[in-house]
Amino acid sequence: MTTAAAAPTPRRPLRDRLSALIYVVPGVGWLALFFAVPLVIVLIVSFGTKDATGHVSLAHPGLQNYLRAGRPEYVPAFLNSLRYAGITTILSILIGYPIAYWISRYGGRRKILLLILVMLPFWTSYLIRTYAWMIILRDNGVLNGILQSVGLISDPIPFLNTDFSVILGMTYGFLPFAILPLYVSIDRMDDNLVQAARDLYASGRQAFLHVTLPITMPGIVAAALLTFIPAIGDYVTPDLLGGAQTTTIAKVVQVVFQSGRDWPYGSALGFLLMVLTLVGTFAALRTLRRETLGGG
Amino acid sequence: MSTDHDGSSLDLERILVRYLAENRLTRRQLLRRISIVGATAAVAPIIAACATGGASAAPSISTPVPAAPSSSDAGAAAETASPTATPEPTPQPTPEGELYVYNWTQYIGDTTVKDFQDKYGIKVTYDFFDTADTQLTKIRSDGKGGGYDVTYPASTDIPGLVRDGVVAALDLSMISNAKNLGTEWANPGYDPNNAHSMPYMWWTTGFVWDPDKIKEDLTDWTALWDERYKGHMSMLDDVREVFAAAAFRLGLSPNTTSDTDLDAMLQLLEQQKPLLRTYTANDIADFTGGQVWLTHAWSGDWGQMLSDKPKTKYVIPESGAVRGSDTMVVLSGAQHPVAANLWIDFNLDAKVSAANTNVTYYMGPNAAALPLIDPTISGDPRINPASATLDKLVELLELGPDLDKYTQRWNALKA
């Protein structure tokens, strides 16, 4: 993260390094057991085939599932996923940044309370909150009811099962993931820097663009990652708030697993999606780092 | 399965589902309740149920109803040939204290679970699936039922489930109420002598529409391809049913495995997709929510829509339609097989079966229950068609490995 890390540090005594290792073991063990092992299983299954009854068979392992992963029918679903995740990420940052900024600068003694309010939705199951959105957005739902009663519209607007409802639901769901890292980076920023910029006759806008924004860029990057990565694989929101026209790649994987009962093929698709997400993320991170952090 | 807890939100969902089952609260009622009193208040009892371990200590709406079957008062309606209620069949094996049931939502009588619990003292854990695909994936995940004791597969799936050892043979000595079945159900082709499954409900698949929005009288599948209703139509999220609709439009068999036929069906469905609002696993909620005016539906779901929209119409399309039935099975990995067989026997009781039909609007195979069913249900030719109509309908057959031909195209269609 920081450029200081590049400077060589003096080697610590062996005993210190060993005892430090002990503290790492539980975390690494946890990750290995519950992340790496399942992932390896998915990888192994993805090389298999399914037999007539739908069971996974590893008798003839090969790349056949990966070779048929790039089917042209799946391209629209993949582009949908990218589009939803991209728009969700941008919206989350655009909405989240002012909120985080306001809490940090003007929250005062109530900062903690405000942060708890940001996280309050997590106290209820995401599924229930998504169903609540269905009640609000459906054709005879709350939103259409209000719009009709004030005479803005005569026929209900189809909100539910559209791109709009999917992006709304995802932005609603992932917004807290954007606000928290943004808050941290804004709160850590030294306010005197902005003050100094203003003293040097920078306008408020210039001070924000040339001081605040670059300094909080790590928070923006973290917010973007924390929003984009879960959003691209999100299944619940597009499934419940989406419709026939809003298929995402996660939905395709689900159909392969469930209707198709083809676990090897589904595993291959899921694994490919993960690799693509990781590669894309690292590529984006490198560019960003070179542009924003490396220069400083 | 009963001991797996993979995360707090999943736990909450499990508790929610359990709460809904124990209090006979459907997802639709929950939605309505949330919309009335707000999410927090509606969910409060669930959180309370969570605090008490999700047991049946949650607030119960209905007062205890004495167990339905008793030989005294059922006599009036019973047929002389087959008495509806028998003395309790005190089975030799002792039933276990628990039972795990896995069923569709809104697919059982309002008090059936509670009545069973009261009668036998067996605690029922009642879980839901929303599509047949979800159900089959789960019960096939470990090849023996995914931890459940009883589930409700379509009769079409029975031969495969028996062949793969997912379902166990029934203990027919415990299911004396099997005698209540109509003669045509005693020895079905998909499961000779009902050795592995008992019929539960049967239906036709057609479509429903809201006459307030669509004034004309619809008669055939072409309505679901009508540009005028673009954005307000849905098809069931069910691969075989959707392809069957296309097959009937093209005059093909819904059991075809010919690639040319299937390509033609897929092409027709791809023309339809841009007109659709959803491939729905919630046809009732989508329809009563107002966004869908015209939807592919099972006959009983239409009956349930009537309570919200009494003018709703249903038709068995004239160019052909699917008929089918669901069954009750004991899974091969069942930890509570005795209770499971008792549950199946209980649901074949004339009174219980009639109560199930009166709530779900699905007709059962239970001849003894017929006199006890609400005559507006059993007398409606759309729910209980004459056998002449039924004979013209098609049953979906198990296709074995050829099912892949459908699911591959289904993937392509939905992607």
Helix (H), strand (E), coil (C) string for B8-39: HHHHHHHHHHHHHHHCCCCHHHHHHHHHHHCH
Do residues A47 and A62 make contact, with C-beta atoms less than 8 angstroms apart? Answer: yes
Q: Exposure string (b/e) for A218-255, b if CB count within 10 Å is 16 or more?
A: bbbbbbbbbbbbbbbbbeebbbbbbbbbbbbbbbbbbb
Residue spans per domain, chain B? 7-57, 203-324+385-414
Query: Chain A residues with CB inside 8 Å of B143's CB?
Result: 55
Do residues B109 and B356 make contact, with C-beta atoms less than 8 angstroms apart? Answer: yes
CB–CB contact A161 B291 (8 Å)? yes
pLDDT, averaged across chain A:
88
- How close is the nearest chain B Cα to the Cα of A33, in Å? 14
Query: Chain B residues with CB inside 8 Å of A49's CB?
Result: none
pLDDT of residue B243: 97
Chain A residue with Cα closest to B9:
A125
Query: Chain B residues with CB inside 8 Å of A252's CB?
Result: 411, 414-415
Q: Is A134 near chain B, with CB under 8 Å?
A: yes
Among B134, B290, B414, beta carbon nearest to A138: B290
**A contact test, residue of B28, B210, B291, B398 with most A CBs within 10 A:** B291
Q: Is A142 near chain B, with CB under 8 Å?
A: yes
pLDDT of residue A74: 87
Query: Chain B residues with CB inside 8 Å of A261's CB?
Result: 136-137, 140, 407
CB–CB contact B415 A76 (8 Å)? yes
Residue B250 or residue A262, greater confidence: B250
Q: Is A93 near chain B, with CB under 8 Å?
A: no
Among B39, B140, B235, beta carbon nearest to A128: B39
CB–CB contact B277 A161 (8 Å)? yes
Q: How confident is the model at residue A282 (pLDDT cuts 50, 70, 90)?
A: confident
Among A77, A124, A161, beta carbon nearest to B415: A77
Instruction: Flag whether pLDDT at A125 surpasses 50.
Output: yes
Chain B residue with Cα closest to A163:
B277
Provide mean pLDDT across the span A68-78.
85
pLDDT of residue A18: 80
Pairs across A and B, CB distance < 8 A: 115
Q: How confident is the model at residue A16 (pLDDT cuts 50, 70, 90)?
A: confident
CB–CB contact A245 B273 (8 Å)? yes
pLDDT of residue B7: 40
Chain B residue with Cα closest to A258:
B133
Q: In this structure, are strands B198-209 and B294-298 parallel, antiparallel, or unpaired? A: antiparallel
Model ipTM value: 0.82
- The closest of A172, A168, A167, A136 to B39, measured between CA atoms, is A136
**B contact test, residue of A35, A128, A137, A248 with most B CBs within 10 A:** A128
The DSSP secondary structure of B115-156, one letter per residue, reads HHHHHH-PEEEEEEESSHHHHHHHHHHSSS-TT-SEE--BGG
Scan residues 233-252 of A and list those with Cβ closer than 8 Å to B. Answer: 243-245, 247, 251-252
Phi, psi angles (nearest 5°) of residue B194: 50, 40
Among A77, A139, A247, beta carbon nearest to B289: A139
Among B137, B239, B415, beta carbon nearest to A247: B415
CB–CB contact B137 A255 (8 Å)? no
Provide mean pLDDT across the span A70-95.
92
Structure tokens at A195: 């003050």
Q: In this structure, are strands B98-104 and B150-151 parallel, antiparallel, or unpaired? A: parallel
Chain B residue with Cα closest to A247:
B415
- How close is the nearest chain A Cα to the Cα of B275, in Å? 9
Chain B residue with Cα closest to A262:
B404
Do residues B233 and B294 make contact, with C-beta atoms less than 8 angstroms apart? Answer: yes
CB–CB contact B136 A261 (8 Å)? yes
- How close is the nearest chain A Cα to the Cα of B116, in Å? 29
What length does chain B have?
A: 415
Rounded to whole angstroms, how far apart are CA atoms A19 and A147?
Answer: 64
Query: Chain B residues with CB inside 8 Å of A132's CB?
Result: 34, 39
Rounded to whole angstroms, how far apart are CA atoms B200 and B325?
Answer: 7
Instruction: Flag whether pLDDT at A69 surpasses 50.
Output: yes
Enter the DSSP assignment of B169: P
Structure tokens at A171: 């932005």
Residue A13 or residue B200, greater confidence: B200
Query: Chain B residues with CB inside 8 Å of A160's CB?
Result: 289, 291
Write out the H or E segment, with its range, that includes residue B270. helix B259-272
Chain A residue with Cα closest to B138:
A258
Structure tokens at A235: 């299944």
Query: Chain A residues with CB inside 8 Å of B40's CB?
Result: 124
Q: Is A77 near chain B, with CB under 8 Å?
A: yes
Query: Chain B residues with CB inside 8 Å of A260's CB?
Result: 404, 407-408, 410-411
- How close is the nearest chain A Cα to the Cα of B226, in Å? 16
pLDDT of residue B79: 40
Query: Chain A residues with CB inside 8 Å of B35's CB?
Result: 135, 141-142
Q: What fold characterizes domain B203-324+385-414?
A: D-Maltodextrin-Binding Protein; domain 2 (3.40.190)
pLDDT of residue A10: 65
Q: How far is CA A98 from CA A172, A185, B267, in A?
A: 15, 13, 49
Residue ranges and CATH numbers for the domains of chain A are: 75-294 (1.10.3720.10)
pLDDT along chain B (415 residues), means of 10: 40 53 50 50 47 38 39 40 48 85 94 96 94 91 93 95 94 95 92 96 96 94 96 95 97 96 97 95 91 95 92 94 96 96 96 95 94 93 89 89 89 87
Q: Is A9 near chain B, with CB under 8 Å?
A: no
Query: Chain A residues with CB inside 8 Å of B134's CB?
Result: 258
Write a three-state SS string for chain A.
Answer: CCHHHHCCCCCCCHHHHHHHHHHHHHHHHHHHHHHHHHHHHHHHHHCCEECCCCCEECCCCCCHHHHCCCCCCHHHHHHHHHHHHHHHHHHHHHHHHHHHHHHHHHCHHHHHHHHHHHHHHHHCCHHHHHHHHHHHHCCCCHHHHHHHHCCCCCCCCCCCCCHHHHHHHHHHHHHHHHHHHHHHHHHHCCHHHHHHHHHCCCCHHHHHHHHHHHHCHHHHHHHHHHHHHHHHCCCHHHHHHCCCCCCCHHHHHHHHHHCCCCHHHHHHHHHHHHHHHHHHHHHHHHHHHHHHHHCC
Q: Is A106 near chain B, with CB under 8 Å?
A: no
Do residues A92 and A174 make contact, with C-beta atoms less than 8 angstroms apart? Answer: yes
Report the Cα A244 to chain-centroid distance in Å.
23
pLDDT digits 0-9 by tens, A186-214: 999 998 999 999 999 999 999 999 999 99
The DSSP secondary structure of B342-383, one letter per residue, reads HHHHHHTSHHHHHHHHHHH-PBPSBGGGGGGS-HHHHT-TTT
Among B164, B291, B411, beta carbon nearest to A160: B291
Q: Is A3 near chain B, with CB under 8 Å?
A: no
